[in-house]
Structure 1
Amino acid sequence: MKVRNDAYLKAFGENLKQLMAKSNKNAETVAALGGIETKQVYRVINGEHSATLSIVYAIAKGLEVHPKELFDFTFQE
């Protein structure tokens, strides 16, 4: 189960990086606009942190996207 969870977290982080690149925003900007700490964004990007719903919402707010876009990705189990 841990391997699947790790793969999912890494894929989520990769999707977040792509959305950030698409919106031309860095982690600091996303964090500031979302009202969270920059280190929280970096932990999610690196797959070190399983984001809570409030973190997902804050990141989506910072990216100016709907939260569902953060979950629009595929990953290998």
Structure 2
Amino acid sequence: MKEIRKKYFIAFGENLQKLIADHNKDVMTIASIGKLEPKQVYRVLNGEHGASMGTIISIAKGLEISPKELFDFPFDLGI
């Protein structure tokens, strides 16, 4: 389970990178708008840990998107 979780965090971070590029934003702007420390955003981007619901909402606010979009990416659970 731990391995699947780590892969999911990495996939989530990759999707976040894509959304940042697609919306012409940068980490500093997202952090500022979402009232987060840039370090928090970088940790999520790098797949270091999963984001809490509060962090997800803040990142979505910074990107000016629905939080749902952060989860809209393919992921194989290996089932």
Flag the structure with higher helix content. 1
Give the aligned length. 77
Larger Rg computed on CA atoms: 2
Alpha-carbon contact 1:7-1:76 (below 8 Å) kept: no
Amino acid at match of 1:33: I
Q: Distance in 2 between matches of 1:65 and 1:4?
A: 26
Q: Distance in 2 between matches of 1:5 and 1:74?
A: 14
CA deviations over 1:8-45 (Å, ceiling 9, x no partner):
00000000000000011111111001010000000000
- Note the residue ranges of structure 2 that are not aligned, 5 or more in a row: none
Q: Distance in 1 between matches of 2:55 and 2:5?
A: 18
Q: Distance in 2 between matches of 1:75 and 1:27?
A: 24
Cα displacement (A) at 1:65: 0.1
Alpha-carbon contact 1:44-1:50 (below 8 Å) kept: yes
Provide the alpha-carbon RMSD of the alignment: 0.8
Identity level (%): 55
Q: Which runs of 4+ in 1 moved over 4 A?
A: none
State TM-score, norm by structure 1. Answer: 0.96
Q: How does 1:1-77 map to 2 (within 5 A)?
A: 1-77=1-77
State TM-score, norm by structure 2. Answer: 0.94
